[in-house]
Amino acid sequence: MKKNSVLFILFVLPIVAYLFFASGINSFTKLPIITSKVADFGYWKSLKNEKVSLNNKITILGFSGYTILKNRGNLFNLNQKIYQRYHTFKDLQFVVICPLGTEDEAKSILDALKAFTDVSQWHFLFAPPEEIKTYYKQLNLVDQLGEDLGTPNVYILDKERNLRGRKEKKGYKEGYNTFHPSDLSNEMLDDFKVILYEYRAALKKNHNATKEL
């Protein structure tokens, strides 16, 4: 009996503990909806003059502001910690809303990412300043957009255009700070996995599971 107890402590208990902590705090629940039915992008065009839509896509949404080149390290953090792991999923896109006039800066960042990343699911959209302010306002976030029309935070939107986040002791975590790699590696990665799990579970339930998710 004593021998069995020792074996359990040495081998089984560590495995159980690992699975518990590796699963993450949100892995067995659904991420709350912070804002429902976020507006689509309308006529805004990308660097390739393509129309980009939130519909039927899991979207990581960011706002670069006029200081996009100065803060390019934030996008490189996001690329390394999240994008490179999941960019092969066809239902995923990373969208950065930029002020008109920053096209050259955005292109230089995209060209730099191309050196080591397939950038097909990176999209930089360009809009007039007032329209960016209006768009951000309808997200109904606690944090405000900076004076340069940018923020280091990025946001997770599901396929139904709902902005998702995590419940915290004081309200909700609405966005994830790209300036801090630990925020991306821990909380954002954990929450992003929850979103993917939701869709995988729904596809499986409908007997329509695909490799896209």
* 109 in Cβ contact with 71 (< 8 Å): no
The maximal CA–CA distance of the chain, rounded, in angstroms, is 74
Write out pLDDT tens, residues 77-107: 999 999 999 999 889 999 999 999 999 999 9
The answer to whether residue 211 is domain-embedded is no
With respect to residue 210, please indicate whether it lies within any of the assigned structural domains.
Answer: no
**pTM for the predicted model, two decimal places:** 0.82
CB atoms within 10 A of CB 86: 17
Query: Does 21 reside within a domain?
Result: no
Q: Which structural domain, as residue segments, surrounds residue 66?
A: 36-205
d(CA 60, CA 143) in angstroms, rounded, equals 17
Q: How many CB atoms lie within 10 A of CB 125?
A: 22
At residue 148 the predicted structure's pLDDT band, cuts being 50, 70 and 90, is very high
Domain CATH number, residue 46? 3.40.30.10
**Averaged over 125-150, what is the pLDDT?**
96
Higher pLDDT pick, 4 / 141 = 141
Residue 13 lies in a domain: no
Q: Is residue 4 situated within a structural domain?
A: no
Alpha helices for the chain (secondary structure H): 2-7, 13-23, 72-78, 84-86, 103-114, 129-137, 181-183, 189-205
Is 26 a domain residue? no
pLDDT of residue 16: 43
With H, G, I as helix, E, B as strand and everything else as coil, classify residue 99.
Answer: strand
Strands 176-177 and 150-157, bridge-based pairing: antiparallel
pLDDT at 11: 53
Q: Can you tell me the distance from the alpha carbon of 60 to that of 65, in angstroms, rounded to the nearest whole number? A: 16
Sequence-separated (6 or more) residues with CB below 8 Å from residue 133: 145, 149
* Residue-level pLDDT at 208: 54
**The predicted structure's pLDDT at residue 67:** 96
- Is residue 180 in some structural domain? yes
CB distance 110 to 140 below 8 Å: no
Task: Tell me how many domains the chain contains.
Answer: 1
Q: How does pLDDT run across 37-62, given as a tens digit for each residue? A: 999 999 999 998 999 999 999 999 99
pLDDT band at 205 (very low <50, low <70, confident <90, very high): low
User: Residue 198, exposed/middle/buried by CB under 10 A (0-12, 13-18, 19+)?
Assistant: middle
HSE-CB for 34 with a 13 A CA cutoff: 22
**Of 161 and 5, the one with more pLDDT:** 161
- How far apart CA 25 and CA 11 sit, in angstroms, is 24
